[in-house]
Amino acid sequence: MEFQLPKEIQAGLDAARVDSLRKASRLWLEVDGDRYKVLRYWGTGFSMEAETAPHLRGLVDLHDGAAHLFQCLIVAAQEEGGEMQFEFKRATKVAEKAALDFERAADAPAGLIAHDASL
């Protein structure tokens, strides 16, 4: 047996759920210098509030607080329950340092200490 709520009640429940997600999430998106709040994140995408979500497509940066997590290529997927859902075409994890173009030996020195002849 399937039970459906009246549209007004369902809309109120969706608005309360989106409000709760907005308050709990630390994630945000940066697009061309503008910031947008992300409600939810999962492995293949994320969602934003449908009323305020711009129609995004292309390259965006995903952050968790001050930490830059991913550089993503996205497309808008669908709107559901007051949320606009976006899917990743590509999500590249941001590294803290540049990749090495050579193999670092396990016993390599951490630095060079110069010998001071005046001592």
Three-point CA angle 90, 93, 99, nearest 5°:
120
Q: Which band of pLDDT confidence, cut at 50, 70 and 90, is reported for residue 65?
A: confident
CA-CA distance, 74 to 53, in Å (whole number)?
Answer: 13
In this structure, what token pair is assigned to residue 50? 């449908």
Contact 29, 35 (CB under 8 A): yes
Query: Is a pLDDT exceeding 70 seen at residue 22?
Result: no
* 100-118 residue pLDDT tens: 788 888 888 888 777 776 6
CA distances to 19, 101, 104, 111, 112 from 108, in Å: 52, 16, 7, 9, 11
* Residue 59 CB partners (closer than 8 Å, separation 6+): 71, 72, 73
Q: Which band of pLDDT confidence, cut at 50, 70 and 90, is reported for residue 73?
A: very high
26-93 belongs to CATH 2.30.110.10: no
Give the DSSP H/E element, type plus range, for residue 119: none
Nearest in space to 26 (alpha carbons), one of 79, 55, 62: 62
Q: What is the mean pLDDT of residues 35-61?
A: 86
The mean pLDDT value of the chain amounts to 81
* 8-18 residue pLDDT tens: 877 776 766 66
Q: Which band of pLDDT confidence, cut at 50, 70 and 90, is reported for residue 2?
A: confident
